Chains A and B, each alone.
Chain A
Amino acid sequence: DAGVIQSPRHEVTEMGQEVTLRCKPISGHNSLFWYRQTMMRGLELLIYFNNNVPIDDSGMPEDRFSAKMPNASFSTLKIQPSEPRDSAVYFCASSRDNGNSPLHFGNGTRLTVT
């Protein structure tokens, strides 16, 4: 199994640009989580999906952030427009059953907004 695959690994963009982060969960996992890691807040849950349906997006910081999961094998997290304070590492994770089983994390996307 290839594990959770995130792309890109690194993204550097200018303020105001649109950024799209991608995630492919482990096949057979029905839950997908987007987390953001910062020094101040640690791992912060942004949104999670169960069977492709968003369950809780209360962690999404602003309307500039949106996430989709059009099918069981793909999810995107979009920031439009991006701002310097969005700079962080964004992790995607999947699990078999919404966190009753361990989460498997991708390698993360390091986003830098200048």
Chain B
Amino acid sequence: ILNVEQSPQSLHVQEGDSTNFTCSFPSSNFYALHWYRWETAKSPEALFVMTLNGDEKKKGRISATLNTKEGYSYLYIKGSQPEDSATYLCAFKVFRSGNTGKLIFGQGTTLQVKP
């Protein structure tokens, strides 16, 4: 059974705080790791897709790192703003021959940023 764990489950921070969350995934048969941002009443939107150990990606104040050998990825938000309030999902794609591996989502970390 493939397990993708995210922590913490929820997080409340003040505007201006920097924060980070963790995504843990199986360290074997790794293919790709995705991060999505999911605002209430909307659909998930992709932030990053990472494939290489040591990858670091950045989009504005949001960045992510990847460690495939130990099976974790961190998502960082610098100087949180109220509009960053959302659920952040990671998804692990398992390697399977013929590019047929499935994409499994974690339960998400829900971030609330107070003004």
For the residues of B in contact with A, the DSSP-based class is strand
- Interface of chain A: mostly helix, strand, loop or mixed: strand
Residue of B nearest to A55 (CB): B100
Known: A42-B107, A42-B108, A45-B105. Is A98-B99 also a contact (CB below 8 A)?
A: yes
Which of A44, A48, A99: most chain B Cβ within 10 A?
A99
**Besides the known contacts A33-B103, A35-B105, A98-B100, 8 further A-B residue pairs in the complex with CB atoms under 8 A apart:** A42-B89, A45-B103, A99-B31, A99-B34, A100-B93, A103-B103, A105-B45, A107-B42
Contact B99 A97 (CB under 8 A): yes
A102 touches B103 (CB 8 A): no
Q: Are A45 and B99 neighbours in the complex by a CB distance under 8 Å?
A: no
Give a binary string over A13-55; 1 marks a CB under 8 Å from any B CB, 0 the rest: 0000000000000000000010100000011110010100001
Contact A103 B46, CB 8 Å, known A42-B107, A42-B108, A43-B89: yes
